Amino acid sequence: MCGIALIISGIRICKASSLFLESVPPASSPKAEQLVFSIDDLKAALRGRGPDSLSSKKVFLYSNTSSTVEEQEIISFIEGEEEKERDLAYLQRFEKKNKCLFGADGEAHELENGFPKFAAELHFVGATLQLRGINPIVQPLVDISGNILVYNGEIFGGIYINSDSNDTEILLQALGKCCPSNSHLCTITDSCDEKRQSSIPGVLSAIKGPWAVIYWQESSKTLWFGRDAIGRRSLLVHWPTLEDGRFMLSSVSPVSSIEQSSGFEAENGFNKLKFWEELPCGIYSICFGSHKSDGFIFGEVRKHEWKNAMVKELLDWERVSVEPKPEDAELSHCKIAREQHGMHSAHSNIFPSKSGPAQASISGPAKTVLIALKESVMRRTSLHTIFQAVTCDIRQEAHAPVAVLFSGGLDSMILAALLDECLDHSYEIDLLNVSFDGQSAPDRISAKAGVKELRRIAPSRRWKLVEIDADLSKLDLETKHVMSLINPANTYMDLNIGIALWLAARGSGWVYEGNNNDIDEDLECVEYKSKARIVLVGSGADEQCAGYGRHKTKYRQGSWLGLHEEMKLDMQRIWKRNLGRDDRCIADNGKEARFPFLDEDVIRTLLDIPLWEVANLDQPSGTGDKKILREVAQLLGLYEASVLPKRAIQFGTRIARESNRKNFGSNRAANQASAGSAAIHMPSNLT
């Protein structure tokens, strides 16, 4: 994993195609920027995401204005001694050929240390948390051709990665083989495929797994950037404005930018100003050029089509069958009756096994989903060589490389049970549970019950329930920090969820230790900090399996089609509403969030199942919602978890209640103010 960033100064950024979905400010002349924050602020914000290394690299661009054609050639060189020697030799040859480098006014460029003063600068930053590969790497990576890559992601398929390799290094090699765009006239096409050469959109589209990328293709003087089609890795964008004329990409917002932006809002009475936006999922390029008339360098932004058919299908999110025919409905009713009888029989046994009687009535689709989910967890938790290097001085059985964000609810119980089947039994598994109401929070109660059930089905595993207790009234500094992490999200609901995720990922709490593997209040409670660098998170389960209350409302209002459209909307906006925020809050602790329910194959598997097999919202809560996942839980022997109702993290941890009291005086006042969706106005008592 990596925190990545790019700052571009001295370039006009303009929209080149209607393919680009978000509004881009009109091209503006380079000017003295009123910098909202410095590069050091940005590095500080990224540092928590990459505790193993942090580095940066600059690319300087200037135009060859001695040319007689209207469109000027762009010349670049990379900061660094070896690159500097190489580029200096090139520039000397270029100067000899062209006599001198002329500016737009006909005067020769002034040289600094043998180089012309640059017209533009691209500043790449990478903070690396290394989870794969034998040899430590430091981003940005630069290859022999001068291509530069900063990459935040994991490759779980599409491009082969062996157990000793690092994803970023392999991706740089693959991108380095891609054909360049046709010219410096910003006429990027997809003709590479016709020539049987790889294209950059083709390579990125092939990746299975979460990613955000910034890539400089030296041969074409083109910048490529984007994030995966689901949006599982954060990438924020700042389009040039009068307040700050730089173009910027970053995994996270620096603290100082939100402070200054908020000050501007307060001064002008305008609370909708957004310095950062979530970059819409997709693949983008900026091809650079320069006009002879003024010598300024410009960049044209384009959005590219996905080249992978499966990606396009997932974006369309169309299900094979949405509305049941009368005979399907009749079969479904018969099946429900059998399941209820089976569940009653299963619960009559105090300790039912995984092959208990309830499984006799479980559908084939549920078994298919179970297989897909297990493969997804396996892909996300296979131990690569880097883990051996990290844990060489620690007893293997005492180190948990993978943790679960754990409420004891249906989704986290499934992930924990599958992790047990995928991870060597010499490893512990940390179950991270947050409470803002001590032992009384619903999530703490269900977590303790969940651990007992996990110990029943997997008694040889050492499960560690990490109890993370928090007091919101004592978290003022932490709250301010999390506000910068959730930015550009700005509601109290986002903040509450962000604080809970941030505390969980930090993993600092208490565990009970003794001679047995049961939770016993008489055992010694000791302070504990999880060392796991990978955190499994249940995001995507509710959106895909109708777990929210609004899904039942849509079903009642519009039947099956209305339910399908609401679920489709949830999946198509999850990148903006959830995933960027969650990635930023979890990664700030040097942990990587992985989302098994959002694996490409899992999504495809669920879409291949008729909607009435996924959910039956005629049934009560805890039965019909996420029906297929409840069947998966039964297949895993998790009978108690299979009937638990949905409970959002902000309510299960009771942070919403504490936030309402702190910011609105009471729950009643908060409800009257619609506190969940209310925007946070600054200054406030949060800071």
Residue 406 CB-density burial (10 A; 0-12 exposed, 13-18 middle, 19+ buried): buried
Cβ neighbours of residue 584 under 8 Å, at least 6 residues apart?
Answer: 234, 251, 252, 485, 486
This prediction's pTM:
0.87
Contact 255, 481 (CB under 8 A): yes
Cβ neighbours of residue 511 under 8 Å, at least 6 residues apart?
Answer: 464, 465, 466, 467, 525, 526, 528
Whole-angstrom Cα distance, residue 656 to residue 492? 9
Q: Are strands 141-142 and 2-9 parallel, antiparallel or unpaired?
A: unpaired
The residue among 21 and 523 whose pLDDT is bigger is 523
Res 164: pLDDT: 84
Res 515: pLDDT: 47
Tokens 């996420």 belong to: 626
Of the pLDDT bands very low, low, confident and very high (cuts 50, 70, 90), residue 29 is: very low
Say if residue 271's pLDDT is above 60: no
Say if residue 356's pLDDT is above 60: no
> Highest mean pLDDT range out of 328-337, 350-359, 387-396, 444-453?
444-453
Res 34: pLDDT: 55
**Mean predicted confidence (pLDDT) in 352-372:** 72
* CATH architecture observed for domain 362-382+399-538+591-677: 3-Layer(aba) Sandwich (3.40)
* Chain mean pLDDT for the chain: 81
Res 14: pLDDT: 77
Tokens 């390799």 belong to: 165
Q: Indicate the range of 115-129, 428-442, 665-679 predicted with least confidence.
A: 665-679
Say if residue 613's pLDDT is above 70: yes
Res 273: pLDDT: 53
Which residue type occupies 420? D
The residue among 101 and 561 whose pLDDT is bigger is 561
DSSP characters over 192-231: HHHTT---HHHHHHH-BS-EEEEEEEGGGTEEEEEE-SS-
Of the pLDDT bands very low, low, confident and very high (cuts 50, 70, 90), residue 508 is: very high
Whole-angstrom Cα distance, residue 52 to residue 282? 28
Contact 403, 535 (CB under 8 A): yes
DSSP state of 252: S
Of the pLDDT bands very low, low, confident and very high (cuts 50, 70, 90), residue 664 is: confident
Which residue type occupies 56? S
Contact 463, 429 (CB under 8 A): yes
> Highest mean pLDDT range out of 33-47, 155-169, 386-400, 602-616?
602-616
Tokens 């297929």 belong to: 628
CB atoms within 10 A of CB 43: 17
Of the pLDDT bands very low, low, confident and very high (cuts 50, 70, 90), residue 238 is: very high
Strand partners of residue 14: 300
**Mean predicted confidence (pLDDT) in 183-211:** 72
pLDDT digits (tens, 9 = 90+) for 142-166: 999 999 999 999 999 999 988 888 9
**Residue 316: its H or E element:** helix 309-316
Of the pLDDT bands very low, low, confident and very high (cuts 50, 70, 90), residue 517 is: low
Instruction: Please tell me whether the peptide bond between 26 and the residue prior to it is cis, using omega within 30 degrees of 0.
Output: no
Res 383: pLDDT: 65
Whole-angstrom Cα distance, residue 149 to residue 125? 10
The C-alpha angle 447, 543, 236, rounded to 5 degrees, equals 95
Res 43: pLDDT: 93
Three-state helix/strand/coil letters over 565-603: HHHHHHHHHHHHHHHHHHHHHHHCCCCEEECHHHCHHHH
Q: Would you say how long the chain is, in residues?
A: 687
What residue ranges do the domains of the chain occupy?
3-22+36-82+115-177+200-262+273-314, 362-382+399-538+591-677
Say if residue 180's pLDDT is above 70: yes
**Mean predicted confidence (pLDDT) in 360-378:** 89
Copy the structure tokens of residue 161. Answer: 């990665």
Tokens 């693959």 belong to: 174
* CATH architecture observed for domain 3-22+36-82+115-177+200-262+273-314: 4-Layer Sandwich (3.60)
The residue among 681 and 474 whose pLDDT is bigger is 474
Res 270: pLDDT: 32
Name the percent of the chain lying above pLDDT 70: 74
Same topology between domain 3-22+36-82+115-177+200-262+273-314 and domain 362-382+399-538+591-677: no
Contact 212, 282 (CB under 8 A): no
pLDDT digits (tens, 9 = 90+) for 459-470: 999 999 999 999
Whole-angstrom Cα distance, residue 332 to residue 385? 48
Say if residue 349's pLDDT is above 50: no
Beta strands in 115-201 (DSSP E): 115-116, 120-128, 141-142, 148-153
Of the pLDDT bands very low, low, confident and very high (cuts 50, 70, 90), residue 98 is: very low
DSSP state of 286: E
Q: Indicate the range of 108-117, 374-383, 546-555, 603-612 predicted with least confidence.
A: 108-117
Helix (H, G, I), strand (E, B), or coil: what is residue 431?
A: strand
Cβ neighbours of residue 371 under 8 Å, at least 6 residues apart?
Answer: none
Of the pLDDT bands very low, low, confident and very high (cuts 50, 70, 90), residue 487 is: very high
**Residue 524: its H or E element:** strand 524-529
The residue among 273 and 412 whose pLDDT is bigger is 412
pLDDT digits (tens, 9 = 90+) for 243-254: 788 999 999 998
Residue 103: left if φ>0, alpha if ψ -120 to 50, beta else—which one?
A: beta
Whole-angstrom Cα distance, residue 248 to residue 203? 24
Helix (H, G, I), strand (E, B), or coil: what is residue 71?
A: strand
The residue among 537 and 391 whose pLDDT is bigger is 537
Say if residue 404's pLDDT is above 90: yes
Res 550: pLDDT: 93
**Mean predicted confidence (pLDDT) in 300-305:** 92
Say if residue 551's pLDDT is above 60: yes
Burial 115-130 (b: 16+ CB within 10 A, else e): bbebbbbbbbbbbbbb
Whole-angstrom Cα distance, residue 490 to residue 487? 6
Residue 66 CB-density burial (10 A; 0-12 exposed, 13-18 middle, 19+ buried): buried
Of the pLDDT bands very low, low, confident and very high (cuts 50, 70, 90), residue 334 is: low
Contact 299, 247 (CB under 8 A): yes
Copy the structure tokens of residue 480. Answer: 């301010």
